[in-house]
Chain A
């Protein structure tokens, strides 16, 4: 069974269909990318997957449980980091725990354990505007990650005991949590160097904390470097007509972007997107 699965999703606004009959799936531990031209409905698809909007047709399942139109089940990181300027970094990051009913003090304690791991140590009591773009993004990741730990929407009474034992190694992770995250262009606002650093860091983190990710990107290189699979979204209304599997395992992709194989993937993708555009 897939961790996250969307079946035959159709969604439009004001009588105009934005995405049509889209089916995608995310396996545990996978990182997949949605790559497509602007306006192909990627963000709309994310809004459906996250439950923020209900599709006209189709269903979304998380671990076999239907979550169509139910927000709070899948973590969603929007394009902007959206750290709340009025909350200290630690309160921003621990917000998903507080929203699920954890006491502020306990939530802070849980979040605090991850600060070093996420390279944010020392910034707990600062306000977000004191951080660089890369740091803000890492803080947003940490918040997204902590919200995956409490993806227990239908489970009455959050198991705070299990959470309190949570540690950065993930060993004490709440067993009810699945760890599916949707990231909408998380790296797009960063400069090339910071972006590269964050790529490496994110892949490492994902494995350590056992997170499965779908992410939206416009950057073909980024998609090839990071993903297990790439869905190509084209057309208006947007459809997914190609799925590309990137064969070398993610761990062995150091300098992968300098190889022939990489270029072949890139060529294939550009060709598909280009033909779709001119059609």
Chain B
């Protein structure tokens, strides 16, 4: 209980700042300094959000599915790659530069190509999410594996442990913290990645809806979508924190 109230006090400054910005924004709109068609007032955005809620949810469902499948595949890919790269030096030499290169490719540039190759369905979106999300997780895991105390590995060997046992009892658990740090970044990338890929073609999804309202110059609706994307990303990151606390009970509630 004590921790919780401490938590609220700590978050208070951020909340107040947010409210202040909203108020300032609203005042700016009411005063007429910025025309309404260029920047909708917060009140208008909230109205649009409520009015559009069913439509938003419909599109959000698609985007979330893409983000989730992409993220899950990304995690799996990252785990397999990082573990193999840690185990076989040669694979690390072979793959690491490739991994870096995938991260330098501008997402916007390959998204249309992916659509061209894979059609307008979910496949190109999921692929893009995989490309953007696997990297932070893979790097996190690799760092984690390397951060292992070599003396702990020696001790395990002295106790007669084989490679798999060393991995299971020492290496993997010590990499978990790094893994979740990477996952947190990836979770926020996942939604944004899905939305960006939807901009470039598709039938449903928040990105598709966004381009549609943009063409109609319905900026209040556009802001409502942005608002929703922010909320979804925050919720996903909170979910990652929750999962981390469940997976690492020995550190639960110690940091942040």
Residue numbers of A with Cβ under 8 A of B are: 47, 50-52, 71-76, 78-80, 82, 84-87, 95-96, 98-100, 127, 129, 147, 150, 153
A130 to B150, CA, bound (A): 23
Residues of A within 8 A of B165 (CB): 99
B151 touches A82 (CB 8 A): yes
B151 touches A80 (CB 8 A): yes
A73 to B54, CA, bound (A): 67
Chain A interface mostly helix, strand, loop or mixed? loop
**In the complex, what residue of chain A is closest to B173 when comparing beta carbons?**
A86
Residues of B within 8 A of A71 (CB): 157-160
| 3 A-B pairs with the lowest CB-CB distances in the bound complex, closest first | A72-B160, A76-B158, A86-B173
**In the complex, what residue of chain A is closest to B248 when comparing beta carbons?**
A86
The one of B169, B176, B248 that contacts A84, using a Cβ cutoff of 8 Å: B169
**In the complex, what residue of chain B is closest to A79 when comparing beta carbons?**
B151
Residues of A within 8 A of B157 (CB): 52, 71-72
A95 to B156, CA, bound (A): 9
Residues of B within 8 A of A129 (CB): 250
Residue numbers of B with Cβ under 8 A of A are: 149, 151-152, 154-161, 165, 169-170, 173-174, 176, 248, 250
A84 to B157, CA, bound (A): 14
B156 touches A99 (CB 8 A): yes
B173 touches A75 (CB 8 A): no
CB distance from B176 to the nearest CB of A (A): 7
B250 touches A86 (CB 8 A): yes
CB distance from B46 to the nearest CB of A (A): 45
Pull 30 A–B residue pairs with CB atoms less than 8 Å apart, ordered by A: A47-B154, A50-B158, A51-B158, A71-B159, A71-B160, A72-B158, A72-B161, A73-B160, A76-B158, A78-B154, A79-B151, A80-B149, A80-B151, A82-B152, A82-B155, A84-B152, A86-B173, A86-B176, A86-B248, A86-B250, A87-B169, A87-B173, A87-B250, A99-B159, A99-B165, A100-B160, A127-B250, A147-B158, A147-B160, A150-B160
A147 to B157, CA, bound (A): 12
Known: A82-B151, A82-B152. A52 touches B158 (CB 8 A): yes
**In the complex, what residue of chain B is closest to A80 when comparing beta carbons?**
B151
CB distance from A211 to the nearest CB of B (A): 16
CB distance from A183 to the nearest CB of B (A): 12
CB distance from B188 to the nearest CB of A (A): 26
User: Max chain A CB contacts within 10 Å: which of B158, B160, B161?
Assistant: B158
Residues of A within 8 A of B155 (CB): 76, 78, 82
A78 to B150, CA, bound (A): 11
A155 to B203, CA, bound (A): 66
CB distance from B168 to the nearest CB of A (A): 10
A85 to B196, CA, bound (A): 41
Residues of A within 8 A of B174 (CB): 86
Residues of B within 8 A of A147 (CB): 158-160
A76 to B158, CA, bound (A): 6
Residues of A within 8 A of B154 (CB): 47, 52, 76, 78
CB distance from A201 to the nearest CB of B (A): 22
**In the complex, what residue of chain B is closest to A83 when comparing beta carbons?**
B152
Residues of A within 8 A of B160 (CB): 71-73, 96, 99-100, 147, 150, 153
CB distance from B3 to the nearest CB of A (A): 17
**In the complex, what residue of chain B is closest to A76 when comparing beta carbons?**
B158
**In the complex, what residue of chain A is closest to B249 when comparing beta carbons?**
A127
A150 to B155, CA, bound (A): 15
**In the complex, what residue of chain A is closest to B161 when comparing beta carbons?**
A99
Residues of B within 8 A of A98 (CB): 169
A148 to B84, CA, bound (A): 33
**In the complex, what residue of chain B is closest to A127 when comparing beta carbons?**
B250
A52 to B161, CA, bound (A): 11
CB distance from A277 to the nearest CB of B (A): 28
A84-B170, A86-B173, A87-B173 known; 6 new pairs, CB 8 Å cut-off, are A52-B154, A52-B158, A78-B154, A80-B151, A86-B176, A99-B159
A82 touches B173 (CB 8 A): no
**In the complex, what residue of chain A is closest to B158 when comparing beta carbons?**
A76
Residues of A within 8 A of B151 (CB): 78-80, 82
A52 to B152, CA, bound (A): 12
The one of A47, A95, A100 that contacts B169, using a Cβ cutoff of 8 Å: A95
A183 to B34, CA, bound (A): 75
A127 to B248, CA, bound (A): 11
Residues of B within 8 A of A82 (CB): 149, 151-152, 155
